[in-house]
Structure 1
Amino acid sequence: MSIAVTIRERRSIRQFNEKPIAPDMLLQLLNDAVWAPNHGLREPWRFIVAERMEAKVRLVDLMMESMGHLKRLKLMPGKLKQMMKLNYSKIPAYLIVVMKADKDAHKQEEDYGAVSCLIQNFQLLAWEQGIGMVWSTLECIHSPIFCEGLGVKSGERIVGILLMGYYDKIPKAKPRTPAEKKLTVL
């Protein structure tokens, strides 16, 4: 499959089947994804994975606790919260992508771009292996409760949580605006 085809066919996947992702597959994908461009080879990333049930339950508990202040969660009936927790714990694997924070705003922006490139590499590589995912930036990624619970250190920040697994159905593509309509030629 060509890179162009992979880019055009990849979709965000939110429904997964029960097939687990082998830890060596996850590591192989990450080892290829780290070849993302990054200024000065700073490699400003690290990863936290949750694929065992105990780890996923802990992760989901941290998510719920850290978002507990949100009005929409406060007003949610208890049974619905339990169903939400159960659904989140059924996701085959989570990858939390953490980046080093830099006091220099320019380096911080470069590093954020590099980590975003790494995540896109990872998504495309996984897609080729039949693994789908969605890149989530839930409110919890900014919560001290969530970050401390995962061991995110001072001077680090979470860029995203990748919810991933094998899938049975691919969502239909949504149209994209042609580049010509957003192109300015100087």
Structure 2
Amino acid sequence: MDALELIKGRRSIRRYRPEPVERDKVIYCLEAARWAPSAGNRQPWEFIVVTEPETRKRLAEVHRWGRHMAEAPVVVVALADPSRDPSYWQQDLGAAIQNLMLAAYSQGLGTCWIGVSGNPEYEEKFREILGVPSHLRVVAAITLGYPAEAPSKDRRPLDEIVHWERYGRRQ
């Protein structure tokens, strides 16, 4: 599968089959995240892999839009160390998470990106549940598992979103 097919095929999955995800597939996804680009190669990321059902349930209870964390066999929580890159850690984590999600799809797994850092209450509760030190930011939770659904995905056409040379100039 070429890169564009991989990108176009990935979906946000919120329903998972109950079977566990093989550890080597989880490692494969984390390896892809580790190789994401980062500003100045500062690599401000760390990850917590959560497979314990009770912990996943507690995380799901905290986040209004993350109830499916209780059912997903794996939740990868992405952390950032802003001291490693105070200006670009958010972009760096975005690249790492995207790599993880594309790698998962290439392995037949589904994912869903659940933002955490935009809500101080969610971030603090995740920090408490997972024992995250105060110098790290809890950026996102990514559910991971075998999909039990195949949602559709629409996109705006290129001619609606692309400007050439300056805003408003269409090709």
If the TM-score is normalised by the length of the shorter chain, which range does it land in? 0.7 to 0.9
Shift of 1:141: 3.4
Shift of 1:150: 0.8
How high is the TM-score relative to the length of structure 2?
0.82
Q: Secondary structure at the match of 1:159?
A: strand
Distance 2:157 2:83 in 1: 34
Could you tell me which amino acid in structure 2 is paired with residue 58 of structure 1? T
Give the conservation status (yes or no) of the 8 Å contact 1:15–1:167.
yes
Shift of 1:151: 1.5
Indicate whether 1:44 and 2:22 are aligned: no
Partner of residue 129, structure 1: 107
Change (3 A) 1:153 1:127: same
Partner of residue 81, structure 1: none
Partner of residue 35, structure 1: 35
Distance 2:41 2:29 in 1: 19
Partner of residue 183, structure 1: 163
Change (3 A) 1:150 1:131: same
Distance 1:19 1:59 in 2: 15
What's the RMSD between the two structures over aligned residues? Answer: 2.4
Aligned with 2:88 (options 88, 107, 110):
110
Moved over 3 A (4+): 138-141, 179-182
> Where in structure 2 are there 5+ consecutive unaligned residues?
167-171
Q: Secondary structure at the match of 2:86?
A: helix
How high is the TM-score relative to the length of structure 1?
0.76
Partner of residue 150, structure 1: 130
Give the conservation status (yes or no) of the 8 Å contact 1:141–1:160.
no
Indicate whether 1:161 and 2:158 are aligned: no
Change (3 A) 1:177 1:102: farther
Partner of residue 61, structure 1: 58
Partner of residue 150, structure 2: 170
Shift of 1:184: 4.1
Shift of 1:157: 0.6
Aligned length: 162
Q: Which has the larger radius of gyration?
A: 1
Could you tell me which amino acid in structure 1 is paired with residue 18 of structure 2? E
Q: Deviations over 1:142-171 (max 9, x none)?
A: 22x331221211111111001121014311
Q: Deviations over 1:49-85 (max 9, x none)?
A: 11132xxx13432553x56xxxx8xxxxxxxxxxx97
> Where in structure 1 are there 5+ consecutive unaligned residues?
73-83
